[in-house]
Amino acid sequence: MGKNTTYPNISKENSTKTLSNSQVAESQFIILKNYKIQNEIIKYGDNTQPTNQLQNFIFHSKFNATPQEAPNQAPYLFNTLAQLATPCESDELQKTKEQLKKRARTKYVTGALIHELTKLDTPLIKSYRNSYYCASVIEQHGQTLTSTYCNNRWCLTCNRIRTAKLINGYMPSLKAMHRPVFLTLTIPNVKADELRQAIETMSATFRTIVHRFVSRSKTKIDGVRKTECTYNPVTDTYHPHFHCIIDGWIYANIIREEWLKAYPQATKVAQDIRPCKDDKSLLELFKYFTKLMTNKDEFYPANMDMIFQAMRGKRVYQPFGNIHPVKEDIDEVQAEEYKDIANDDKIWQWFENDWIDKETGECLSGYVPDETTEQLCSRIEKQDRPSATTNQPPQDKHPPT
């Protein structure tokens, strides 16, 4: 056995860990096997180390030397965002790191959602499984990160891209309105087997109201209509409704009055009209199209699946008047340039809560789920998550023959 190497101030008690050269020289992938990054601790044998020592272990295992002994052997090891810990980071670097951490968090939470949705016997099972692999591999070429996305509405990762695209596409038209108002149109709650037909009827009714007014007045109404739907677990019913931004209080009021004629069972107080005072009011239109969690932070996968089925093949956003439509789908392959990351060629593979370079064990974003996120995923999941080591989604209860 060769000379031992001592790593000072590693454990929570600031004790030391002595490893032999053979142990130090093991494959970098030992990090993935023996460390549990997502729980904010790294376990090595009987010792517990904080995650901020991860870069030292990577360095030691690869070069069999401490940073003091070999400061210039592999400077690129510290260029990934997970390992950049300089005392004074630029604002641009901090922003880039936060962007990638947010991206990692959305994929982490989406994994919990998909784990529950893939347990269902549903026509959407293949689409749910496809979301499991969304952005699971990121290719880095130079300072450009490229990945493949699922483009599904329940995927939080894709929704972040979609929302940004819709905001960029519609906001110029909304800001150009002379007097934008926010109009909400509702109907009484419906049962699951009535949901898809109810949404189709609502859309047809709205089109008829607008078309009738335009035909009679020879005046166009400019606006954007968004379809939303929520689930009420107390009554086991669904609440489809429209949110609209319309240019002109008079036009919004006309639409509301005609809506109440078409749906006399709907209450007038629920058909709300309010002014859009600023950009923040306009951005309200671009929130979720369905709440994945109830007000009590409960997740009902079968009922969410019913909403996704009802909206399948339908537009969530529908402009009218002089406002042009913005395509809701996102590109399957997305490439983003980050000028603050190292110029390198790498393959980053999703592992538990971050993208990992399997050759070095480096983390791309350095994201570690906080207690709030862990509690959220625990509420979503009724059972244990699929094994991260296999990187496979749950299998069908009745696999195809």
What's 385's DSSP letter? P
- Quick one: 264 and 228 in the same domain? yes
What is the rounded CA–CA span in Å between residue 55 and residue 37? 12
Which amino acid belongs to residue 95?
Answer: K
pLDDT greater than 80 at residue 75:
no
Question: 61 lies in a domain?
Answer: yes
- State the pTM of this model: 0.72
- Please give the pLDDT value at position 382: 65
Mean pLDDT for all residues in the chain: 78
Contacts by residues 22-31 (CB-CB < 8 Å, ≥ 24 positions apart) = 24/60, 24/61, 24/64, 25/61, 25/64, 26/61, 27/61, 28/58, 28/61, 28/62, 28/359, 28/360, 28/361, 29/358, 29/361, 30/61, 30/361, 31/57, 31/58, 31/61, 31/361
Highest mean pLDDT, choosing among 15-24, 52-61, 181-190:
181-190
Within 13 Å of residue 53, how many CA atoms lie on the same side as its CB? 24
Residue 261, domain member (yes or no): yes
Looking at the predicted structure, is the pLDDT value of residue 360 above 50?
A: yes
196: part of which helix (H) or strand (E)?
A: helix 195-217
Q: pLDDT tens across 182-216, in order?
A: 999 999 999 999 999 999 999 999 999 999 999 99
Tell me if 330 is assigned to some domain: no
Among 28, 50, 75, which residue terminates a domain? 75
Domain-embedded: residue 398: no
For residues 169 and 314, membership in a common domain is answered with yes
Do 259 and 142 belong together in one domain? Answer: no
Tell me the pLDDT tens digit for each residue of 143-160: 999 999 999 999 999 999
**Pair (116, 240) in one structural domain:** no
- Residues linked to residue 32 through DSSP beta bridges, in sequence order: none
Whether 235 and 172 map to the same domain: the answer is: yes
Q: Based on the domain organization, do 147 and 171 belong to the same domain?
A: no
Last residue of a domain, one of 13, 40, 75: 75
- 138 in the same domain as 102: yes
Largest CA distance in the chain: 93
Specify if 26 maps to a domain: yes
My answer on whether 165 and 273 are in the same domain is yes
Q: How large is the average pLDDT for residues 300-326?
A: 95
Per-residue DSSP letter, 325: P
Same domain for 231 and 302 = yes
Contact 149, 330 (CB under 8 A): yes
pLDDT band at 96 (very low <50, low <70, confident <90, very high): confident
Asked which of 75, 103, 129 is the last residue of a domain, the reply is: 75
Average pLDDT over residues 98-106: 93
> In sequence order, what are the residues at sequence separation of 6 or more whose Cβ sits closer than 8 angstroms to the Cβ of residue 235?
189
Whether 257 and 313 map to the same domain: the answer is: yes
Residues 264 and 201 in one domain: yes
What residues contact 277, with CB distance under 8 A and at least 6 apart?
none
Residues in the chain: 401
Overall domain count for the chain: 3
Neighbours of 135 (CB within 10 A): 24
> How many CB atoms sit inside 10 A of residue 283's CB?
14
401 lies in a domain? no
Q: Which domain holds residue 27?
A: 5-75
Residues 109 and 177 both lie in one domain: no
Residue 317: pLDDT band with limits 50, 70, 90: very high
Q: Which DSSP string corresponds to 236-290?
A: TEEEEEEEEEEE-HHHHHHHHHHHHHH-TTS-GGGS-EEE--SHHHHHGGGS-SS
What is the reported pLDDT for 388?
Answer: 32
Residue 240: left if φ>0, alpha if ψ -120 to 50, beta else—which one? beta
